[in-house]
Structure 1
Amino acid sequence: MGKRNERGLLTLLVCLVLGVGLLAAALGASHLGGSRRAAAEAADGAGGGSVDLQELPPGPAEPPPTGPDASTGTVTVDCGRNEERHFNEDNLVVSPGLHGGAHHTHSYVGNLSADARSTDASLAAAATSCRGGDRSTYYWPVLRRTDRPGTHPQERAAGHGNTGEILSEASVSVEFHGNPASKVVPMPRFLRAVTGDAVAGTARSDADVRARWGCSGLPDRSTTHYPRCPEGDRVTRTLAFPSCWNGLDEDSPNHRSHLVFPAANGVCPQNTFPVPQLRIRLAYDVTPGTPLAVDSFPEQRHSPRTDHAMFVNAMTDAQMASVVDCLNEGLACRT
């Protein structure tokens, strides 16, 4: 009976030792897996997860005009490329009145007074970088290179993990396009608009992801990752805005429902009206291999999918009428 008890105790001890070993191994594997995931996520946020654009196939072409009512013109608004170094950590559209409400730095062209405290009246009275007098404000999060520290006070102002030298835009293209299915109507003055999803890195859906990254020499290809471009090409960001207005509101509680995107064929949803579609295209002189990071909220880890832009239309009624006429008449205009 004693020997049987001894054998039972020995068996129990062996099982305990094996169990502890297996548990330690499992915990170690879990920790290693978690570390690898964290490292991969950090790399993807801080410039990793990039793709060679030359390896991607061309993207789908824009829908062709579908009838005699198509508005096929374009209007280019010359607003410079932020030579004035107009930066702040505000977001007039999403968090008006809240200084530093963006928690990252925005770069601007157009209205030179735009910040969290701006009102319709102050925008209408301010100076502008646009040659034709458009006082609208166009803005987006800055792009940084993380291998160089920021030396200017503005580069260190954002905090929240947004560090590094801010890359100056080599070019900024502000364009309005028509609608492939119908004529467009004027935007209301002081319309607010948002494109892209600043929280796409943690969102459950990609429905609001709109930013496209690319290379200047490969205009028919784009990605939602940081692009690796051929030597001599510029890195590009293209941000297209929604263009179907509900006909009533200059803004909405979520800053989206009053102005939505058309269907793939350009047709606007029922009870909305096509307005000029804004497209902002940014280009940067970047040496291949430079680590890039778009400013973001801390939990978004600088994911390129979070790229976004905002717009407040401060054109006069006469300026907007000229844009609409150019688009509806199929002309190529510049202001």
Structure 2
Amino acid sequence: MMRFSLAFLALAAHGVNAMLRFSCSELVIDRLDPLVTPGENPSPHLHQIVGGNAFNITMDPSLDLPSLATCTSCTFSEDLSNYWTAVLYFRARDGTLTRVPQMGNQFLEQATGGMTVYYIQPYDGTQVTAFQPSFRMLVGDPMKRTFDDSLESRQLSFRCFEENFGGEAGAPGTGQDTRELPNRPCPGGIRSNIFFPTCWDGVNVDSPDHKSHVAFPTSGSFETGGPCPASHPIKIPQLFYETVWDTREFNDQSQWPEDGSQPFVFSMGDPTGYGQHGDYVFGWKGDALQRAMDANCNVVCPQIQSQDTSVANQCTIPRRVDEAIDEGELQDTSFLKVAYC
């Protein structure tokens, strides 16, 4: 019988009516950000990117991604969107840096790294409006180093995976999620969780800060049917990223900092985890996403086309920034661009 992650079970417990859950394998790891710093090569920090192979240094909103992309690293083949997050590094006691690889999530283990993507609907069956062509948004702040208990900060967390769930690496295990990077070895790796806003102003597909055109419910939560603010009355799907970082090879605490602090740092120079963030550029074909939402698809969705994970794994693009990012243990930290805080 199929078992799902704790995130899945928690959503089910909240009465989520329906959702898509699928893997998007690693498309490329590169220092580009066409949403926040379009045209900059390189961008301020490194990202891990998944989705359609139309991802580029600049992605003008007028571009039709489904017509430009020839493949996608996601298992729903009508999804040519792009999704990206920062990259995690291990900082050893001697100061060297080693990139932490991603691994396939539970029951999606065949994926080559990347992340798990969810599109979720409210528990009460309220229909949502799918994202429109050229839609894009950002959640999180790469410069944040403290928890301010804002609505946005509450959408970002981590889980320290144990190996006590059938002995499977990457299994959810026990314990509570943390807002900051876990401060102890995680036998099954570390999962980062990123939830996006669920209310839209109904007019703008983007905004200068890539945030103002969307909002969170005014009370409660999206899963429990929380109301949208009057300024953003349209309910959109709950977009949710899970990235599982394979930290298992870095659990030898004799290699951790001598002061006992946790050894991981994100590529924007963040050792806290409070700066984790996610970017999204919509690229579904036609009305495919709306069809899935209208059909109340629950993980499996025959209303839209899918492809085998082995095919999705083959969709990659070359890096455009020529720099060492994971070739052995790096002493040069200049590629992080932002100093440790």
Q: TM-score range by the shorter chain?
A: 0.5 to 0.7
In structure 2, what is the equivalent of residue 115 of structure 1?
56
In structure 1, what is the equivalent of residue 234 of structure 2?
273
In structure 2, what is the equivalent of residue 295 of structure 1?
267
In structure 2, what is the equivalent of residue 76 of structure 1?
21
**Corresponding position: 1:214 with 2:155:** no
Instruction: Give me the whole-angstrom Cα distance separating, in 2, the residues matched to 1:234 and 1:203.
Output: 23
1:234-313 superposed matches below 5 A: 234-262=189-217, 263-266=219-222, 267=226, 268-270=228-230, 271-287=232-248, 288=251, 289=253, 291-296=263-268, 301-313=270-282
Q: SS where residue 310 of structure 1 aligns?
A: strand
In structure 1, what is the equivalent of residue 103 of structure 2?
170
Is the contact between residue 198 and residue 235 of structure 2 (CA under 8 Å) also seen in structure 1? Answer: yes
Q: Deviations over 1:58-77 (max 9, x none)?
A: xxx66834xxxxx6101123
TM-score computed with the length of structure 1 as normaliser: 0.66
Shift of 1:117: 1.6
TM-score computed with the length of structure 2 as normaliser: 0.65
Percentage identity across paired residues of the two chains: 22
Is the contact between residue 157 and residue 177 of structure 2 (CA under 8 Å) also seen in structure 1? Answer: yes
Q: Deviations over 1:237-286 (max 9, x none)?
A: 01111111111111011211111112323322224211111111011222
Is the contact between residue 180 and residue 265 of structure 1 (CA under 8 Å) also seen in structure 2? Answer: no
Q: Give the AA of the match of 1:198.
A: P
Is the contact between residue 189 and residue 316 of structure 1 (CA under 8 Å) also seen in structure 2? Answer: no
Instruction: Give me the whole-angstrom Cα distance separating, in 2, the residues matched to 1:191 and 1:123.
Output: 11
1:72-151 superposed matches below 5 A: 72-80=17-25, 82=26, 84=27, 86-101=28-43, 103-120=44-61, 121=63, 123-124=65-66, 125-126=68-69, 127-133=71-77, 134-147=79-92
Instruction: Give me the whole-angstrom Cα distance separating, in 2, the residues matched to 1:317 and 1:189.
Output: 9
Q: Which has the higher helix share?
A: 1
**Corresponding position: 1:331 with 2:298:** yes
Q: Give the AA of the match of 1:64.
A: H
Q: SS where residue 144 of structure 1 aligns?
A: strand
> Which stretch of structure 1 is more off in the superposition, 261-270 or 245-254?
261-270
Instruction: Give me the whole-angstrom Cα distance separating, in 2, the residues matched to 1:232 and 1:131.
Output: 28
Is the contact between residue 189 and residue 245 of structure 2 (CA under 8 Å) also seen in structure 1? Answer: yes
**Corresponding position: 1:200 with 2:144:** yes
Q: Deviations over 1:46-100 (max 9, x none)?
A: xxxxxxxxxxxxxxx66834xxxxx6101123322x1x5x122222222222222
Is the contact between residue 64 and residue 283 of structure 2 (CA under 8 Å) also seen in structure 1? Answer: no
Is the contact between residue 295 and residue 302 of structure 1 (CA under 8 Å) also seen in structure 2? Answer: no
Instruction: Give me the whole-angstrom Cα distance separating, in 2, the residues matched to 1:264 and 1:97.
Output: 39
Q: Deviations over 1:155-208 (max 9, x none)?
A: xxxxxx9x7222111122111111235221121122111111212127977453
Q: SS where residue 178 of structure 2 aligns?
A: coil
The two structures, once aligned, show a CA RMSD in angstroms of 2.8
Q: Give the AA of the match of 1:111.
A: G
Q: SS where residue 278 of structure 2 aligns?
A: strand
Instruction: Give me the whole-angstrom Cα distance separating, in 1, the residues matched to 2:52 and 2:290.
Output: 19
Instruction: Give me the whole-angstrom Cα distance separating, in 1, the residues matched to 2:46 and 2:291.
Output: 33
Instruction: Give me the whole-angstrom Cα distance separating, in 2, the residues matched to 1:206 and 1:318.
Output: 34
Aligned positions, number: 249
Instruction: Give me the whole-angstrom Cα distance separating, in 2, the residues matched to 1:245 and 1:204.
Output: 24
Q: SS where residue 323 of structure 1 aligns?
A: helix
Is the contact between residue 148 and residue 164 of structure 1 (CA under 8 Å) also seen in structure 2? Answer: no
Instruction: Give me the whole-angstrom Cα distance separating, in 1, the residues matched to 2:238 and 2:53.
Output: 23
Going from structure 1 to structure 2, the CA distance change for 1:184 and 1:203 (only over 3 Å counts) comes to same
| Structure 1 unaligned regions, length at least 5 | 1-60, 66-70, 150-160
Going from structure 1 to structure 2, the CA distance change for 1:90 and 1:203 (only over 3 Å counts) comes to farther
Shift of 1:115: 2.9
Is the contact between residue 140 and residue 152 of structure 2 (CA under 8 Å) also seen in structure 1? Answer: yes
| Structure 2 unaligned regions, length at least 5 | 1-9, 105-114, 162-171, 257-262, 307-341
Is the contact between residue 147 and residue 274 of structure 2 (CA under 8 Å) also seen in structure 1? Answer: no
Instruction: Give me the whole-angstrom Cα distance separating, in 1, the residues matched to 2:239 and 2:21.
Output: 10
Between structure 1 and structure 2, the one with the greater Rg is 1
Going from structure 1 to structure 2, the CA distance change for 1:204 and 1:73 (only over 3 Å counts) comes to closer
Q: Give the AA of the match of 1:234.
A: G
